[in-house]
Chain A
Amino acid sequence: QSALTQPASVSGSPGQSITISCTGTSNDVGSYNLVSWYQQLPGKAPKLIIYDVSKRPSGVSNRFSGSKSGNTASLTISGLQAEDDADYYCCSYARGSTWVFGGGSKLTVL
């Protein structure tokens, strides 16, 4: 059960779009459309922003979108805002009915 691979850091200017990748294997991301994304602000619990690869919970901005191709899932944030400055984690269902998180990506809004 190795962690999914995410870039440690990404950055962008307000108004721009950024994409965070999440690479797994055929044992997790590649075999199931059960990838979710969480946003975590410092000192706070994670917040669900995308589930089942591309679905958005009620109340989450449509600036957040998700996709998947093969063993890699992606989170795109468009129209970057200062409030998007946070850590982002992907999470996938995996063989053996387990779950695995990515290592996390620190998004800096310049």
Chain B
Amino acid sequence: EVHLVQSGAEVKKPGATVKISCKISGYTFTDYYIHWVQQAPGKGLEWMGLVDPEDDETIYAEKFQGRVTITADTSTDTAYMELSSLRSEDTAVYYCTTGARTNWPHWGQGTLVTVSS
């Protein structure tokens, strides 16, 4: 059975950087891309980007380009999402998700990041 377990909630000040982890088990880590999705309070889902754990190739959404870094550590089967220059609008739940190339049946439990001075 596939499991994605994310790190715990974070509180950060504006301008800081947050790094969230996503530990994956139940399949070969390099088989599937890992995506990250943002959901602000009361808002919809927003795709942030992906990493291919096989070759570390990344693709980012235009909105987050320059502020987001997604990585994958094949030694621990863990993906990471780092978001810098945090502002209040980045307060959100962040999900990691994975599956086949065109659809994502497996999701982490979500990590709440609160940006507040």
Contact = CB atoms under 8 A, between A and B. Distances in A.
Interface stretch (A9-17, A18-26, A73-81, A94-102): A94-102
A52 interface: yes
B2 to A, nearest CB: 12
Contacts of B59: 96-98
A93 interface: yes
A101 B44 CA distance: 8
B104 interface: yes
B35 A99 contact: yes
Contacts, number: 59
Interface string A30-48: 0000101010100001111
A1 B103 contact: no
Contact of A98 (B44, B61, B95, B102): B61
A38 B39 CA distance: 14
A75 to B, nearest CB: 14
Interface residues of B, number: 23
Interface residues of A, number: 26
A97 B54 CA distance: 17
Which of A46, A47, A87, A93 has the most chain B CB atoms inside 10 A of its CB?
Answer: A46
Chain A interface secondary structure, helix, strand, loop or mixed? strand
Contacts of A3: 44, 46
Interface in A78-110: 87, 89, 91, 93, 96-104
A102 B37 CA distance: 13
A51 interface: yes
B39 to A, nearest CB: 9
Contacts of B50: 99
Interface of B: 35, 37, 44-47, 50, 59, 61-63, 95, 97, 99-100, 102-105, 107-110
